[in-house]
Structure 1
Amino acid sequence: MYPKNAWYVACTPDEIADKPLGRQICGEKMVFFRGPGGKVAAVEDFCPHRGAPLSLGFVQEGRLVCGYHGLEMGCDGKTVAMPCQRVRGFPANRSFAVIERYGFVWVWPGDREQADPGKLHHLEWAEHPEWAYGGGLYHIACDYRLMIDNLMDLTHETYVHATSIGQKEIDEAPVNTKVEGDEVVTSRFMENIGAPPFWRMALRGNDLPDDQPVDRWQICHFLPPSHVLIEVGVALAGKGGYHADPKFKASSIVVDFITPETETSHWYFWGMARNFKPQDQELTASIRQGQGNVFSEDREMLERQQANLLRWPERKLLMLNIDAGGVQSRRVIERILAEERGVAAASAATAATAATAATPAAPATAA
């Protein structure tokens, strides 16, 4: 259903600033906390004593303390102490590989031995002083792939977001889709059109007139396991569009980190990174509020779509050319899942062969 040997956004640093955080990711119940030196750790959200959620406890001197009977656990999942009890022999909880980078905490839900920090996508905007970022988190009750479909085909903006970023010209502009390795890119360019309300606000924020025709672009990048980064913007018409000088445009990257929770729910870390007026905190707050309202409109549509799909599982969905981005993204996911299943099957076969070889042969019996 979802690749596990990959990096997903688990939370933002503020969510674990002063207490543990319980979160289910790719079907795994985890608890995140800060261990010695403030380093983030993640272990199974299960106390080996009586099964209580460790996320209901607290952190003391870098150890995770169960809020039920005081069992203490280290970052490696090993029980280290409990008041008046001998618990050193308790089996260790599973621990998960974690990275804190780019303003997020990332987790690898699969095989810890395969967790390679080098496989985390580089996010230049998150480290550059000329960029500002503002975002939030929604819990959405739908299959994470429905959100990917939604973001890789922005035709729906005309209808779902009619009062903010939608406009009829989106329907009329052709869509181009291409696949580059594991990355899927869909793009749409519109010339000499009026700017919708959200982008009029962004133009004003960059000291540009909001009543002149603009050229608009949407370039959606799907990156596995489930990230979508969208280059969006408007430039005063005739100034070069996407390639216009920054003084003539308002452009941003819509950031969508989609983290599966279950087969029908996910955590949606949304935001926008912009490279104009990065020090203007009031503008950041205004854009964040506007974008949050836009994404709340998506949430209602997607959750009701999921309910319909669960109600009529036998009905086949129809595909059009505008769906190409989502279709290709799902193909990338399916290929990665097939590779994971193949590796798991090979590992199981190797283990079985080794076990057979290690089993002593039965003694021969006389005929």
Structure 2
Amino acid sequence: MTAFLRNQWYVACTADELGDKPLARRICNQKLVFYRTAAGQACALEDFCPHRGAPLSLGQVEGDLLVCGYHGLRVTCNGDVHSLPNQRVDRFPCVRRYAVVERGGFVWVWPGPAEQADEALLPHLAWADNPDWGYGGGLYHIRCDYRLMIDNLMDLTHETYVHADSIGQLEIEEAPVHTSVRGNEVITERHMADVTAPPFWQMALRENGLDPEARVDRWQICRFTPPSHVMIEVGVALAGRGGYDADHADKVSSIVVDFITPETDTSIWYFWGMARTFRPASAELTEKIREGQGKIFAEDLEMLEQQQQNLLEFPERPLMTVKIDAGGAQSRRVLQNLLAQEGPALEC
């Protein structure tokens, strides 16, 4: 049984997923239902009606109340049982409430005790609600352990093989990798000097008015933070102009956004996207990048799901670890330490 950090914020859904109907979502092996009140406030409750155990997500929203679709029991955003047609409810237990915050276009949930939720732990999204940045993304449901996705994102060597037609190139596996740990943040970076830009970055150079055939300096800086967020600074600059520190006019760069929300032991909700500073107002470019990035991540999806099946089928097989695995290994070590600090799960 996989252990999940509970006293952390996870992305539950995008803001536009949460409309006028309840949304069911399992997170960290817990069944939740999300809905909006009449004023637009996002709420989260356990997806369990205390009357007969029906999923509250099969009901509907009436004003500020969530109405069970089985017998009409009504509960408030705080989980208090409000009413049941022609019946007394004064002895009904409350429905468990989860702390929720809406920020940066996402609805975040705290799976641990709501009273312990700390908004200061929400990640800072420099690109959110900022006109100097453009952003587009999507959501994939992937049948794999969430730690396999962290491994994948903290070691981009696989791009040479899995994404050979878009962002992969041989220089990725040839360039040295440096991994460091700063508190609970794990950073893995790779810099490639004087290389040919792969197809995706040729497109980005062209869109920024730069020569797509020019030699470039390329960088990949992966940053893991608990519980399961990975932000990746990526980009290319005209060779010899300073690489990562090059002037804005000589480079194209972006942040690959990866919010990994465990669903079960072997499945995740994967919220992906790309934030960029070149031509941020272009909706056409945002859609072009979103479509291309979606295809790239679909290639990861197939690999990760097949990897998970192999690990389930051959649980006794030892896996080998080499230098390029340091980012994922250190990230797992951070998770293990934090899980040990939290201790066993308590009833909330």
Scaled by the length of structure 1, what TM-score is found? 0.92
Aligned to 1:194: 196
Q: CA deviation at 1:256?
A: 0.2
User: RMSD across aligned C-alpha pairs, in angstroms?
Assistant: 1.4
Picking from 53, 66, 80, the partner of 1:78 is 80
In the alignment, structure 1 residue 151 sits paired with structure 2 residue 153: yes
CA deviations over 1:216-238 (Å, ceiling 9, x no partner): 00000000010000000011111
1:45 paired with 2:52, answer: no
CA contact (8 A) 1:204 1:210 kept: yes
What's the counterpart of residue 170 of structure 1? Answer: 172
Q: Deviations over 1:172-205 (max 9, x none)?
A: 0000000000000000000111111111111112
Candidates 278, 281, 289, aligned match of 2:280:
278
Q: Among 310, 313, 316, which residue is 1:314 paired with?
A: 316
C-alpha contact (below 8 Å) 2:131/2:281 kept by paired residues: no
Shift of residue 333, structure 1, vs aligned partner: 0.2
Q: Which among 235, 242, 245 is matched to residue 244 of structure 2?
A: 242
Gap runs ≥5 in structure 1: 348-367
What corresponds to 1:296 in structure 2?
Answer: 298
Tell me the residue number matched to 1:260.
262
Q: Please report how far the alpha carbon of residue 62 of structure 1 lies from its aligned counterpart in structure 2 after TM superposition.
A: 1.4
C-alpha separation in 1, matches of 2:205 and 2:53: 54
Match for residue 66 of structure 1 among 65, 68, 92: 68
The CA distance in 1 between the partners of 2:164 and 2:145, in whole Å, is: 24
Show the 5 A alignment for 1:158-237.
Answer: 158-237=160-239
Contact kept, 8 Å, 2:177 with 2:324, in 1: the verdict is yes
Cα distance in 2 for partners of 1:80, 1:36 equals: 16
Deviation for aligned residue 1:36: 4.3
- Equivalent position amino acid for 1:305 in 2: Q
Question: Quick check: 82-91 or 104-113, which moved more?
Answer: 82-91
Distance 2:129 2:185 in 1: 22
Report if aligned partners of 2:8, 2:111 keep a CA contact under 8 Å in 1. Answer: yes
- Secondary structure of 1:156's counterpart equals helix
Query: How far off is 1:88 after superposition?
Result: 3.3
Residue 17 of structure 1 is matched in structure 2 by 19
- How far the C-alpha of 1:68 sits from its partner, in A, is 1.5
Secondary structure of the corresponding residue to residue 38 of structure 1: coil
User: Matches of 1:83 and 1:31 in 2, distance apart?
Assistant: 22
Deviation at 1:13, TM superposition (A): 1.2
The answer to whether the 8 A contact 1:178-1:185 is kept is yes
Aligned-pair CA distance for 1:209: 1.3
Match of 2:122 among 117, 120, 123: 120
| Separation in 1, partners of 2:80, 2:115 | 18
What SS does the corresponding residue of 1:129 show, helix, strand or coil?
Answer: coil
Output the CA distance in 1 between the equivalents of 2:214 and 2:85: 71
In 1, Cα distance between equivalents of 2:268 and 2:91:
36
Deviation at 1:124, TM superposition (A): 1.2
SS in 2 for 1:17: coil
Distance (whole Å) between structure 2 residues aligned to residue 315 and residue 341 of structure 1:
29
Given that 2:81 and 2:89 are in contact with CA atoms closer than 8 Å, whether structure 1 keeps it comes out as yes
Task: Tell me how far apart the structure 1 counterparts of residues 70 and 252 of structure 2 sit (CA, whole Å).
Answer: 53
* Distance in 2 (alpha carbons) for counterparts of 1:191 and 1:39: 49
1:325 has 2:330 as partner: no
8 Å CA contact 1:258–1:267 kept in 2: the answer is yes
Q: Secondary structure at the match of 2:275?
A: strand
Counterpart residue type for residue 110 of structure 1: G
Is it true that 1:96 corresponds to 2:98 in the alignment?
yes
Q: Percent identity?
A: 65
State whether residues 35 and 74 of structure 1, in contact with CA within 8 Å, keep that contact through their aligned partners in structure 2.
no
Higher-helix-fraction structure: 1
Q: Calculate the TM-score normalised by the size of structure 2.
A: 0.97
- The residue aligned with 2:289 is 287
Partner Cα distance (1:235, 1:136) in 2:
27
CA contact 1:38–1:62 (8 Å) conserved in 2: no
